[in-house]
Structure 1
Amino acid sequence: METILIPDDDHQVNPLGLKGLGELGIIGVNAAIANAIFHATGQRIRRLPIRLDAFV
């Protein structure tokens, strides 16, 4: 993994002008977990957060 710094401040995002990319990598995780639950149980989960009481 390589980190590349881009010299582009964005002070509308936060006072430091920093941008985070961590959110981009986890966008599909909720959908993947919901699909895994559907394939394992046959019950479609359409609301977040996914909790155990949604299966009762």
Structure 2
Amino acid sequence: MSEIGITCTGAAVVNAIFNATGRRVRDLPITLHKLL
């Protein structure tokens, strides 16, 4: 059951970054360079 939660975490973080910054990051890991 813990693997199900782990797979959704990346999408939740990326969506939170998009909501906060308006920038869509489509590949991980998310770095400051990708956001700027």
Higher Cα radius of gyration: 1
Q: How does 1:30-45 map to 2 (within 5 A)?
A: 30-45=10-25
**TM-score scaled by length of structure 2:** 0.81
| Greater RCO (CA < 8 Å, at least 6 residues apart) | 2
More helix by share: 2
Moved over 6 A (4+): none
Percentage of identical aligned residues: 50
Question: What is the alpha-carbon root mean square deviation over aligned residues?
Answer: 1.2
Can you give the 5+ residue segments of structure 1 that lack an aligned partner in the other structure? 1-20
